[in-house]
Chain A
């Protein structure tokens, strides 16, 4: 029987429906101001895509920042456990998961079965998260989705010393005033993020292979900067934003079969 995982993040809500360990539907909607409604909506979209109704599901697990608001299931699991499970399913060799989401950044050490060994999360600071990149894109009048490709064109990234969102924004404005090109500024921003994430991840044992999940993984420039900083290849699954929802669906399946 099919199972569903719903990940209500700070910026987007995602759902994944699995049947016989195969993804049959995925959906994504902005979270907006109502976590409960967006969770519901993304689940309904996925059900529609799979051509099934909620009653056909053997189980649903909710995860993410808004998991407690999800009223369609009692099964809630943290995004840390779900990202670990989802990452393991996508890339079984993964031992370190770097998840950069809307407002959270985390590094998770996992074992060969996708179980969490240790993890670290950012504190109250949004540096290195999707929100940080949104603020920078706005300051530079660039579309968020264009940041990655643009930064790859740079051969002399600007120096951005601050990784505090507020201070970095004023630093970016200063660089613009100095006449530094947008391309170099964006590349500099990505380098600053990479340094920050590297310092955080160093608190868990970083083992090969490293996988990156969350919305920021769609930014090729950040991935490149991280690869340089970690001096290692970083694997990105096809749908990095759905890793948490996928993990939740996998756990729903395990619980349904237990």
Chain B
């Protein structure tokens, strides 16, 4: 029951950068890649450039093997491989947010080897709390803005405020999509819902907003009065989830992910930036208030407690941890979150994977066993 707009989005799932390449051809504008969803995309957008998310892909490593050890995550290794093979040549530059050790080092390796004209680094505080950290974050983001202006041209406050509005609208629409699915997950499958969010970071935001409005209208009219389909409700936890065949398999064996903490899922769009204040303050404010990832901390918001609460709110009966091999930040948080879920009586599954060597059949047995456990068979 996919609507035409959704079908158009899904067509590009095997060629995620088609939109960015097309945009560049059409407008002659600059395209900037970024890895982490903490990157202030609005600033790049306000300069008239297109921010595009790099999330690695399923591939066999070739050229990046010379630069990165095999104990780096597949996100870094396959992403760098794509750049070194020239597959990201439509990009004019890349922005790195310092989150984990791998991303910090990848930034340097990328700057020296990938051959892009523009390079930006953002070093945000690790603890998002206290006035000095806040002040530092504002000054770091202002510095990044000035750096982008040198490469991309001026970013005036009006343009930045306008970009914030467009991004906030996207966040609102995506929240609406998730709210509809929480009500009735059968409206759209979990792989399609996650692709809708992922595609938001791959195309011009206003264009995505227009498509999203059509999709939401179609879902509301087609889904009116339909009943939930009895699939086991699951909650997804991890960084990037781009394994569409895995998500389809979860639905095949009778489950569905109704909400998540993926950084190309809920964590990409949650929390709007406040409007009507200084735009750099606004962007900082949003980063401060949004759901945290394992690379950023707030002592007043224990991540395990927050996630366990969100799992309960979503009425999920089980959780799937989707962990990139060698991802230390996520692995570090795992035992705490797992314990919080155990205490709440929510069974979970820890799947450790690498892009390019995901074996769906092996994972099927584990997901099926989780569903059997939940159903009490």
Chain A contacts to B: CB under 8 angstroms: 65, 77-81, 115-121, 123-124, 203, 251
Contacts and interface: CB of A to CB of B under 8 A. Distances in A.
Interface residues of B, number: 15
Given A79-B365, A80-B365, A115 B359 contact: no
Nearest to A122: B362
Given A78-B365, A81-B369, A124-B362, 7 more contacts: A65-B365, A78-B368, A78-B372, A115-B373, A116-B369, A121-B365, A121-B366
Contact of A123 (B352, B365, B373): B352
24 contacts: A77-B377, A78-B368, A78-B369, A78-B372, A79-B365, A80-B365, A80-B366, A80-B369, A80-B372, A81-B372, A115-B373, A116-B369, A116-B372, A117-B347, A117-B373, A118-B342, A118-B347, A119-B366, A123-B352, A124-B357, A124-B359, A124-B362, A203-B350, A251-B377
A80 to B, nearest CB: 4
B70 to A, nearest CB: 14
A116 B376 CA distance: 8
A94 to B, nearest CB: 17
A97 B129 CA distance: 46
Interface in B138-170: none
Interface string B52-73: 0000000000000000000000
Contacts of B362: 124
Interface centre among B342, B347, B352, B362 (most CB of A within 10 A): B362
A120 B352 CA distance: 11
A160 to B, nearest CB: 23
A100 to B, nearest CB: 16
B369 A115 contact: no
Nearest to B342: A118
Contacts of B359: 124
Contacts of A118: 342, 347
Contacts of A77: 372, 377
A120 B334 CA distance: 15
Contact of A115 (B352, B365, B368, B376): B376
Contacts of A121: 365-366
Contacts of B369: 78, 80-81, 116, 119
Nearest to A63: B365
Contacts of A81: 369, 372-373, 377
Contacts of A251: 377
A116 B370 CA distance: 9
Contacts of A117: 347, 373
A142 to B, nearest CB: 30
A81 B366 CA distance: 10
Interface in B330-377: 342, 347, 350, 352, 357, 359, 362, 365-366, 368-369, 372-373, 376-377
Contacts of A203: 350
A251 B366 CA distance: 18
A197 to B, nearest CB: 17
Contacts of B377: 77, 81, 251
A161 to B, nearest CB: 19
B360 to A, nearest CB: 12
Contacts of B342: 118
A117 B342 CA distance: 10
A101 to B, nearest CB: 12
Nearest to B375: A81
B359 to A, nearest CB: 7
A138 B366 CA distance: 31
A87 B369 CA distance: 16
Q: Indicate the member of A78, A121, A123 with the most B CB atoms within 10 Å.
A: A78
Contacts of B368: 78
Nearest to A121: B366
A252 B58 CA distance: 40
A83 to B, nearest CB: 10
